[in-house]
Structure 1
Amino acid sequence: MAQSRAARLAPVIAMAERAEREAAMQLGHCQGLLRQAEVQLGDLERYRGDYQQQWISEGQRGVSGQWLMNYQRFLNQLETAIGQQRNSVDWHSANMAKVRDVWQQRYARLEGLRKLVQRYQDEARIAEDKREQKLLDELSQRLATRDSPY
């Protein structure tokens, strides 16, 4: 009886395994997008540092007002891009946290189902062992009473 309960859960386990696998794949995809956004942010920040270094080099030689205005305008655009990329990193990070929560829930459900199946299998094994022991005891008792001289 308990063994059939475990067998009846097999399709449910298969569905839970598929759902957990899909969630794990989605989590991996989100981690990749986050890493990509972080790399882009790092690239922008390095480029800003290089551009500021150029200001120092050019500034020592003297620059025109037009060069200074172009420098400032481009630096402002670069700061805007960096801010947008930080927002992108934050969004991807928050999204990954949500996807991780979904995966953890699906993983926990799958593990709970697996433990339930194991419990059903253990119960079935114990019941079968008891049934066999009872049969052996009855058989021993019959043999003992049949062979008894009384």
Structure 2
Amino acid sequence: MAQSRAARLAPVVDMAERAEREAALQLGRCQGLLRQAEVQLGDLERYRGDYQQQWISEGQRGVSGQWLMNYQRFLTQLETAIGQQRTSVDWHRSNMEKVREAWQQRYARLEGLRKLVKRYQDEARLAEDKREQKLLDELSQRISARDSQS
């Protein structure tokens, strides 16, 4: 009886395994996208640092008003790009956390199903052991009864 309960759960466990695996793959994709967005942000911030260093070098030699205006305009655009990239990183991080939570729920469900199947299998094994012991006891009694009649 208990073994058949475990067998009946096999398709449910298979579906839960597929759902968990898909959630894990989705989490991996989200982690990759977050890493990529963080790398892009780091690149932009390094480029801004290099550009600011260039300002220091050029400023020591003296710059024209036009050069200064171009520098400020480009720096403003660069700051805007950095801000947008930070927003992108935040969005990817938030999305990844949602996907992680979904994966954790699917994983917990799968583990719960596995424990239930194991419990059913253990119950079936115990019932089978008891049945076998009962048969052995009966057989032993029959043999003892037969031997005592002889």
Q: TM-score, normalised by structure 1?
A: 0.97
* Matches of 1:77 and 1:6, distance apart in 2: 62
1:47 aligned partner: 47
* Matches of 2:76 and 2:133, distance apart in 1: 84
1:103 is the counterpart of 2:125:
no
1:137 is the counterpart of 2:131:
no
1:149 CA displacement: 4.9
SS at match of 1:12: helix
1:144 CA displacement: 1.5
1:8 aligned partner: 8
Residues 35-60 of structure 1 show CA distances to partners (whole Å, capped at 9, x for unaligned) of 00000000000000010011011111
Q: TM-score, normalised by structure 2?
A: 0.97
Task: Figure out how many residues of one structure are paired with residues of the other and give that number.
Answer: 150
* Matches of 1:68 and 1:132, distance apart in 2: 93
1:113 aligned partner: 113
Runs of 4+ in 1 over 4 A off after TM superposition: none
Give me the identity figure in percent: 88
Unpaired runs of 5+ residues, structure 2, are: none
The letter of the residue matching 1:61 is: R
The letter of the residue matching 2:15 is: M
Unpaired runs of 5+ residues, structure 1, are: none
1:61 CA displacement: 1.0
Residues 52-98 of structure 1 show CA distances to partners (whole Å, capped at 9, x for unaligned) of 01101111111111111111111011111101101111110111011
1:60 aligned partner: 60
